[in-house]
């Protein structure tokens, strides 16, 4: 069995991908897939260098935010994994891009009302309402407020990654998540 390593920027990405796999009844261990959070996109170059070009190590795939796409492109090209000047080329290499980030993808897939329901189920709706009243947040659209709220406390993105993916209608799961899962498992 070929081993595939899915490289993601942070723990919330790892949790979201593993949760989506569970929701699809995919056993990543049995499929030979390991999801590795590298602690930020700037670490992708050294990670790819350590694991070598194709044939020398595990098959690589990954998930990144649009703002970090350039780091992934540069690292893949330097490692000789192939051209990645377009999004299609990146995807053929197994690397998928979230626009703008994973939280944005999940909020768009679920809709703001459902995300607010998840926040309420987590007992944080009153905290979110207080956050919305802050001067810097008052004029922002609801989706932008939710996205910012998810990143305001340590560990919140990771916790909500699981909760938001659990709330998804699987037919509406964000394309970058479903794409990297399909690539990694060969489905």
Q: What is the pLDDT of residues 119-151, one digit of tens each?
A: 999 999 999 999 999 999 999 999 999 999 999
**pLDDT of amino acid 56:** 63
The gap from C-alpha 45 to its chain's centroid, in whole angstroms, comes to 18
Q: How far apart are CA 120 and CA 114, in angstroms?
A: 10
Q: What is the pLDDT of residue 187?
A: 85
pLDDT above 70: residue 52 = no
**Residue range(s) in the chain whose domain bears CATH number 3.40.50:** 4-102+173-185
pLDDT at 16: 98
d(CA 57, CA 73): 19
Q: What is the pTM of this model?
A: 0.93
* 4-102+173-185: CATH topology: Rossmann fold (3.40.50)
Q: Predicted confidence band at 57 (pLDDT cuts at 50, 70, 90)?
A: confident
How many whole angstroms separate alpha carbon 144 and alpha carbon 132?
10
Is pLDDT of 172 > 60? yes
Tell me the longest C-alpha to C-alpha distance in the chain. 55
What are the start-end ranges of the H helices in the chain?
11-23, 28-31, 44-51, 69-78, 87-92, 102-110, 112-121, 125-132, 142-150, 156-167, 175-185
Contacts of 13 (CB under 8 A, 6+ apart): 37, 63, 102, 161
Average pLDDT for 51-65: 79
């Amino acid at each position: 069995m070929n081993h595939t390593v899915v490289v993601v920027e942070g723990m919330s990405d790892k949790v979201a991908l593993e949760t989506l796999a569970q929701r699809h009844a995919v056993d990543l261990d049995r499929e030979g897939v390991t999801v590795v959070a590298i602690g930020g996109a700037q670490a992708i170059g050294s990670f790819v260098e350590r694991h070598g070009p194709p044939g020398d190590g595990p098959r690589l795939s990954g998930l990144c935010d649009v703002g970090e796409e350039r780091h992934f492109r540069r690292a893949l090209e330097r490692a000789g994994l192939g051209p990645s000047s377009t999004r299609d080329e990146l995807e053929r290499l197994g690397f998928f891009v979230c626009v703008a980030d994973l939280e944005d993808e999940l909020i768009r897939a679920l809709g703001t009302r459902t995300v607010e329901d998840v926040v309420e189920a987590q007992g944080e709706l009153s905290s979110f309402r207080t956050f919305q009243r802050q001067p810097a947040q008052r004029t922002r659209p609801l989706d932008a407020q939710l996205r910012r709220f998810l990143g305001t406390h340590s560990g919140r993105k990771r916790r909500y990654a699981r909760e938001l993916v659990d709330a998804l209608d699987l037919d509406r799961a964000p394309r970058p998540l479903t794409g990297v899962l399909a690539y990694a498992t060969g489905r």
